[in-house]
Structure 1
Amino acid sequence: MEEDFPEYEDYQRHQRPTLVDDKSHQNHWRNRANDLHASAGAIWLSMSNERGRDAATELGLGDGFDMHLACSHVYHMLCGLSLEVAMKAALVSQGITPPEHHDLNLLAHLLGVKRNPAQKKILNFYQHSVVWAGRYPVPVNATDEKLIDYYDMANTVLYKGKTVIKGATINIKTYSPTGATSWERYDALYKSYTALFDHRYPVKAK
C-alpha cells in the first residue's frame, strides 16, 4: 500500500493523532460520563430492598448485608464523577481545556449555568462525594470540624426535619429522606449538563 501511496507512510509517521490525542476527543469524554452514569444506575437498582437482598445473596456477601447502607456513598461518588466528566465533556466539545479539579460549581460556572442555592448545595454535596466521602472514611488533613461541617451539609441535603415536640428546653424532631439524590433527580441533573455537549467538531482547545 505504501508503494502505491507514498504519502500514506508520511501520514502514519506525522499526521496520525497520538493515542492521548485520540482518547482526549470529546466523544471519549462523553462516553466515559455515560459509563459512570450507567454504573450509578446499576448501584441505585441494587440498593432497593428486594433487589438488594437478591444481589447480596448472589454475591455471597452474607445474610443481613445491607446494600443501601454499603453502597449509598459509592452511588453518590459515581453521580458526582459522572456530572464532573459530563461537564468537562461539554467544555471539551466547546474547545475549552477542562480544569484539573473536581469543583462542580466552578465547572457549571464555566459552562454558563446559573444555579440557585439549592442547586449549588447539591453540586457541593456530590463534589465532596467525589473528593473523599465516597472513597475514604475521612478527608485529607482531616479534622473534627471538617467532618462535622460535611455531616451537617450532607444531612441538610439528604434529610428534612420536622419538629414533633416543642418544649421549653428541648425540641424533638423526626427526619425523613428528601429524595434529593434519587435516581430520577440525579438523572435529570445529569441530562441537563449532557445537553450542553456540542456535537460539532470542536475548535482547538483554548
Structure 2
Amino acid sequence: MCDDDDYEFEQYDTPAPRMSLVEDRSHENLWLHRANDLHASAGAVWLSMADGRGKDSAKELGMREGFDMMLACFPVYHMLCGLSLEVVMKAALVSVRKKPPEHHDLNNLAHLLGVNRNPAQKKILNFYQHSVVWAGRYPVPKNATDDDLAAYYEMSNSVLFKGKTAVKGTIIKTYSRTGATDWERFDALYRSYSALFDHRF
C-alpha cells in the first residue's frame, strides 16, 4: 500500500513534456490575437486618413507638404483588412482543430467555416482577398501581367466606386465612392467571422 502511494506521488515529480516554441506560438488563441492585431492596425490606418484627418496626420508624421494620406494609405488599409480576415478565418478553423489551408482564398475559407454568402458578400471577400496580393506591398506582384493588373483594377473599381451619367445622352459619367470598405462596414464583417472562433480555453 505504501509503495503504491509512493509511486503515485512520484508521478508529480515527472515534468510534463514541453511544447516546442513553434507549437506554443501555433496555439489557436495566438491566431486570434494576431488577427485582432491586424484588425486594429487597419483601424489605426483608417483613423489616420478618414473624416478629414489626413492632412493633420500627415503633418504629425512629418510627411512632405501636400502628402495625401487617403491616396497613399487606402491600398495599405485594404491589405490589412484582407490579412485580418484571412487570419481570423484561419483562427476559427484552428479553434475547432481543423488545419487551415495555405492560401488567401477568403471565399473558400468562408465555405470551410460553413458560412453562406450572397453574391455581394462573395464580391467583397474577393476584393479583400486580392487586396492582400495586389495592394499595399509592391507596385505590382511578382509574375503579374497587364491583363492581370487590368482585371484587378476593374474589379477594384466596381467595389469602390459607382458611376452616374453626367450628361444625358452621353457616355460621360461622374464617379463617387460606394463606402463599401469604410471602417464601419469592414468592422462588422470582421466581427461576424471573429464570432466563429471557438473560445474553449
- Distance, in Å, in 2 between the alignment partners of 1:36 and 1:53 is 24
4+ runs of 1 displaced by more than 3 Å? 5-10
Provide the alpha-carbon RMSD of the alignment: 1.6
Q: Which stretches in structure 2 are left out of the alignment for 5+ residues?
A: 1-8
Of 35, 39, 42, the residue aligned with 1:40 is 42
Q: Percent identity?
A: 72
Instruction: Give distance in 1, aligned partners of 2:160 and 2:38.
Output: 21
The whole-number CA distance in structure 1 between the counterparts of 2:71 and 2:52 is: 14
- Name the structure 2 match of 1:78: 80
Rounded Cα–Cα distance in structure 1 between residues aligned with 2:151 and 2:137: 18
| 1:164 Cα offset (Å) | 2.5
Residues 30-179 of structure 1: pairs in structure 2 closer than 5 A: 30-48=32-50, 50-167=52-169, 170-179=170-179
Larger Rg: 2
Q: Where do 5+ consecutive residues of structure 1 fail to align?
A: 202-206
CA distance in 2 between counterparts of 1:157 and 1:49 reads 20
User: What code does the residue aligned with 1:179 have?
Assistant: G
Take 2:105 and 2:13, find their aligned partners in 1: how far apart are those partners? 44
Tell me the amino acid that sits aligned with residue 145 of structure 1.
Answer: D
Q: Structure 2 length normalisation: TM-score? A: 0.90
C-alpha distance in structure 2 between counterparts of 1:71 and 1:160, whole Å: 21
SS in 1 for 2:42: helix
Aligned equivalents of 1:159, 1:83: Cα separation in 2: 22
The aligned counterpart of 2:189 is: 189
Q: How many Å separate the matches in 2 of 1:20 and 1:38?
A: 24
- C-alpha displacement of 1:11: 2.1
**Take 1:43 and 1:160, find their aligned partners in 2: how far apart are those partners?**
24
| Alignment partner, residue 16 of structure 1 | 18
